[in-house]
Homo-oligomer: A and B are copies of this chain.
Amino acid sequence: MSAPKKVVLAYSGGLDTSIILKWLQTEYGCEVITFTADLGQGEELDPARKKAELLGIKPENIHIEDVREEFVRDFVFPMFRANAVYEGLYLLGTSIARPLISKRLVELAHEHGADAVAHGATGKGNDQVRFELAAYALDPAIKVIAPWREWNLSSRTKLLEFAEQNQIPIAKDKRGEAPFSVDANLLHTSSEGKVLEDPADMAPDYVFQRTVDPVTEAPDAPEYVEIGFERGDAVSINGEALSPATILTQLNELGRKHGIGRLDFVENRFVGMKSRGVYETPGGTILLEAHRGIEQITLDSGAGHLKDSIMPRYAELIYNGFWFSPEREALQALIDKTQEYVTGTVKLMLFKGAARTVARWSDYSLYSEAHVTFEEDAGAYDQKDAAGFIQLNALRLKLIATRNARVKK
């Protein structure tokens, strides 16, 4: 790989990506363009501009963007149509944000005539894979620089030395090492590493940042919320039509208040090892429960079981970084096709750490009280049909049993 001339860096404004910025300038002597995205991580982005300027980035090379609506509309919502969970439990909060960042990095590279993009993910995790697969899928000629895999700043001490040598300001609380590592966006906060590294130890209380403690801080009374859906996507809360990002923001606030969406989890990374993370996905946890609730009455079993059967593969693709791949897009076509009539309203109870569907209704409902009733059904259903249904379903089982009895003699 020849040395890059211009690099678009995913820049948070924090110490680590500031060091990367400087390292790119010194190691490759290349021009750096910074991209800082507001994905709803809940941090001020203005300091990122100032810090970038301080590090010598030209104003026209500093990009700070609010991508929250795009994030929820084009990434989070399509994924929730699938009820995607990784390994049974994880709502993929980090995974789903990476392709959006890569997409903007590559777009900015094209705008600026840059030949490379750079990110601050380490060589042990999944994020490097997600960033890079997305970038290569969008521009096969782009270079991707992953300083953590390249440099020799292998200890905290070396990093701080480099920062000091290069006049990178170090916030006081960054002097010492953080007790764990955090990633956040509008969908979730993940915490991992350090104090969380032994999965036999309970996570300390201070790890949780985004939800109150359901035991000690959540209200003693349940709260009910009604979420409206259209074609599989949430469109309203308690009857008020809202934009995608606003919906997720409000559900996050509800979830935070009731301590909803905490997950202590050991997962299998794509790179081959297990890791333990603590995830907080307040709004997403409510949304998943609600989406399942609305599908219960609007989706038929054929489409529903098909979706369920491909969901693990779909979730795995997102987890592994294959958002921009033909197979994820083909699965999305399948999923989206099933959501045509997933429209209606779900009522949930939020209480001390859990969100539960308690009622649901829809003009698009397939639920037929006329058929299911224990009362007289006025001929909607002829119970005698069941006899034939069972006989033909049993036929092959009878033939097997007959055969087995015969050959065992």
A residues bordering B, Cβ < 8 Å? 83, 87-89, 122-124, 128-129, 132-133, 136-140, 146, 148-149, 154-155, 181, 193-194, 197-203, 214-215, 221-222, 262-269, 271-276, 292, 296-297, 299-313, 316, 321-322, 324-327, 329-331, 333-338, 341, 347, 351-354, 356-361, 363-369, 371-374, 376, 381-407
> Could you tell me if B385 and A301 are in contact, using CB atoms closer than 8 angstroms?
no
With known contacts A138-B401, A266-B297, A395-B371, A390–B303 Cβ distance under 8 A? no
Partner of A374, one of B194, B338, B367, B385: B194
Query: Can you tell how many copies of this chain the complex includes?
Result: 4
Q: Which residues of B contact A368 (CB under 8 A)?
A: 273-274, 399
6 chain-A/chain-B pairs, Cβ below 8 angstroms:
A122-B383, A123-B385, A137-B398, A137-B400, A200-B359, A305-B316
Q: Which residues of B contact A155 (CB under 8 A)?
A: 376
Q: Which residues of B contact A373 (CB under 8 A)?
A: 193, 197
Q: Which residues of B contact A140 (CB under 8 A)?
A: 397-399, 401-402, 405
- Report A193 CB to chain B, min CB distance, Å: 4
7 interchain residue pairs of minimum CB distance:
A388-B388, A123-B383, A272-B395, A268-B301, A140-B398, A385-B388, A302-B327
Q: Which residues of B contact A389 (CB under 8 A)?
A: 129, 271, 388-389, 391-393
Q: Which residues of B contact A316 (CB under 8 A)?
A: 305
Partner of A264, one of B149, B358, B367, B384: B358
With known contacts A305-B312, A352-B353, A274–B383 Cβ distance under 8 A? no
With known contacts A193-B374, A309-B309, A357-B264, A301–B396 Cβ distance under 8 A? yes
Nearest B residue to A364 via CB reads B407
Partner of A271, one of B309, B337, B357, B395: B395
Q: Which residues of B contact A222 (CB under 8 A)?
A: 215
- Excluding A305-B327, A385-B391, A385-B392, 8 further A-B contacts by CB distance (< 8 Å) are A133-B393, A214-B351, A264-B357, A273-B399, A274-B297, A330-B334, A331-B334, A366-B396
> Could you tell me if B390 and A296 are in contact, using CB atoms closer than 8 angstroms?
no
